[in-house]
Structure 1
């Protein structure tokens, strides 16, 4: 006869397993951080960014709507007013409209004018990627950043696509995202100021000053064509069709490259009337681009990465100065204006660079062509370079004490904490036995 189980005492509590144990109550800041900002708040933020752009434009700040919105987003994120990213519909719309704007400038005459400098531009693009890889090598020498994370964090361009493939390449996704968007923020902040200084210096030296913007189009004139309804319909069709084609073809950053290619076809064919965003619509797009960059720099992100902030900033400064030197060499060798050469060779930040080119009246076709081609090259070759360098640099753990250097800093800290917790639970279970 099978023995019956002993009766449970009145003061004995049932054991709690992992599935029945009550979960701890979330903290207040976790609840606030996980709650998305309402649509009305984002509408007020966009309106505030636009008003700040108007004020900056009145005082003569370069790329006023981009820089003002970037500063507004960064201040709101650091103060805790905004704890999440730009809403997905606004982000997708701004990306698609920027792509359509880029494609509208790639006219046949612009492509023909950029053909004679194709070889120097290719050399400059390869030198920019090589400079970023050297900076990533120095960044990973300290051992606090893994080699794949350093390479993916320092490559210029394609920040969204690079962050997406970081997990597949065994890199620290948070560190890659922080480094990429810190670079985008640095380029977006310094490019307008540098372009304005270069344009002023060129005008003072006897060069031709940039043409003034004039009074600009009216509030109801939001596309380049004379027929506003037809132009808006064409712009919406290009944005939707380009986003769909970019996703179906699995292009890098499909919401940007897809509409750009569709707009390029529409521009080259000449069958579609003027659809490029201008006036108020263009300013709103630049405000969304600036906010999208600014709200990424939250207080929690800066605190978690504070020990790595200094070396990352030093490496980024070296890359930016190196790209400025390459732009000077390219301008001297080809006769291209230094402002156009600088904006074409900046290490990424294609949306911000395009806004700066429009505001400074630079050669937008040259800037768009070079930045787009380098973006495609970086997205195509970066996974291969990362796997090659990671396999060549990595060493087995315990061979010479260097194997642990390939593990990201925060991952190694978390693993040590998990081991300590496991040991403490084991001791409690052992001590509780009769």
Structure 2
């Protein structure tokens, strides 16, 4: 007579595989979507679109989110890893020569950064007069940078985190989408000949090279890259930097480049393109139907405010270009109101003045993080005084 096996032992064995499959399905879905975006990005680059992988992934992310194709949040680890790689990429451009070229422009950069914050604050003070939005919602929603940190602290500052999140990521999305388009419209992005004629469409879907880092020793370069990402992220958190996953690796890499301690780790080719795909998908996935329904009637005003801020920053870019003697495209990427990940990815893919752009964007991010608590305190008291004045 066979020994009876308890059903309690059979139960987990029957259900564990389906559970594992169900748990893995969101990650698999995002992986498939990222793969599609990668090949679409290759096709877009063949067509001459600048920052093709970033822009394509952004559009696909928005469509997938609004149509319900992806109901789960974008994987946090993938997003943080991509930010760290972008930080290393930016830090690799901050060599001694690049830093010296930025020093002479630091005055105008600080002035433009302060002007950007003031413009955003001015627009934020107008929004509550036109909508039912609170002053805290308006200011936190229009703060030009530090989106993740701003959204995380929204509830603690008596703001509606859904409104703040929508406003922040609407601005980031507009910046990410407009940066490549502006460059394309001005015809300053240079491509080797005419890509549409240089390679047939079929082969253009494949990467130009299989190299992942700018070194003949791929494994060693990848190990150095991983170490810079990991140690840089830990350093950023220990120093309590804004966007520590991005700025920590950037600072550590800059030190390694200046001292000559690290080399041959810069991500290139398919690895760089994949990182840009992740960043674009993450930003696009923030635009959901529930958020749009909640914002409701405020949407036209939020769109107008965001467009106004972007337009004013473009005007500041023109002033910066004239003052420093750089191209408008470099100045525009340096003065965008936020979207640092997307902007730096765009700058790298377009071979812009990355040292200038990363310095300006990092300066703005630090300034915003330092000033936000003071701005909220002032605006809250300002809003209370306004309410009392209307009550009287």
TM-score range for the pair, normalised by the shorter chain length = 0.7 to 0.9
Say whether the 8 Å CA contact 2:131–2:298 is kept in structure 1: no
* Distance (Å, rounded) in 2 between the aligned partners of 1:333 and 1:377: 21
Alignment match, 1:250: 240
Say whether the 8 Å CA contact 1:232–1:275 is kept in structure 2: yes
Q: Which sits farther off after the overlay, 159-168 or 46-55? A: 159-168
Match status 1:340 vs 2:333: no
CA 1:329–1:56 in structure 2 vs 1: closer, same or farther (change >3 Å)? same
Alignment match, 1:171: 159
Alignment match, 1:425: none
SS of aligned partner of 1:305:
helix
* Distance (Å, rounded) in 2 between the aligned partners of 1:293 and 1:132: 21
Alignment match, 1:133: 121
Is the helix fraction higher in 1 or 2? 2
Equivalences for residues 218-237 of structure 1 within 5 A: 219-237=209-227
Alignment match, 1:81: 69
Q: 2:38 aligns with which of 50, 54, 74?
A: 50
Which string of whole-angstrom CA distances, capped at 9 and with x for unpartnered residues, describes residues 33-92 of structure 1? x98852221111110111110111111112110011111111111111112221122111
Match status 1:147 vs 2:142: no
Say whether the 8 Å CA contact 2:26–2:72 is kept in structure 1: no
Equivalences for residues 423-434 of structure 1 within 5 A: none
- Deviation of the 1:263 alpha carbon: 1.1
TM-score scaled to structure 1, two decimals? Answer: 0.79
Alignment match, 1:363: 353
Match status 1:113 vs 2:98: no
Match status 1:331 vs 2:318: no
CA 1:396–1:359 in structure 2 vs 1: closer, same or farther (change >3 Å)? closer
* Distance (Å, rounded) in 2 between the aligned partners of 1:35 and 1:296: 21
Q: 1:102 aligns with which of 90, 101, 108?
A: 90
Q: Which sits farther off after the overlay, 355-364 or 120-129? A: 355-364
Say whether the 8 Å CA contact 1:166–1:173 is kept in structure 2: yes
Q: 2:260 aligns with which of 270, 287, 311?
A: 270
- Deviation of the 1:195 alpha carbon: 1.5
- Deviation of the 1:393 alpha carbon: 2.5
Say whether the 8 Å CA contact 1:74–1:297 is kept in structure 2: yes
Alignment match, 2:47: 59
Q: 1:386 aligns with which of 366, 376, 379?
A: 376
SS of aligned partner of 1:362:
coil
Structure 2 gap ranges (5+):
1-21, 199-205
CA 1:398–1:108 in structure 2 vs 1: closer, same or farther (change >3 Å)? closer
* Distance (Å, rounded) in 2 between the aligned partners of 1:297 and 1:143: 21
Alignment match, 2:28: 40
| Matched residues, number | 361
Runs of 4 or more consecutive aligned structure 1 residues displaced over 6 Å after TM superposition: 213-217, 396-399
> CA RMSD of the aligned region, Å?
2.2
- Deviation of the 1:198 alpha carbon: 2.4
* Distance (Å, rounded) in 1 between the aligned partners of 2:43 and 2:208: 18
Say whether the 8 Å CA contact 2:151–2:161 is kept in structure 1: yes
* Distance (Å, rounded) in 2 between the aligned partners of 1:212 and 1:160: 37
- Deviation of the 1:217 alpha carbon: 8.1
Match status 1:188 vs 2:182: no
TM-score scaled to structure 2, two decimals? Answer: 0.87
Largest Rg, 1 or 2: 1
Say whether the 8 Å CA contact 2:110–2:363 is kept in structure 1: no
* Distance (Å, rounded) in 1 between the aligned partners of 2:146 and 2:263: 30
Say whether the 8 Å CA contact 2:310–2:337 is kept in structure 1: yes
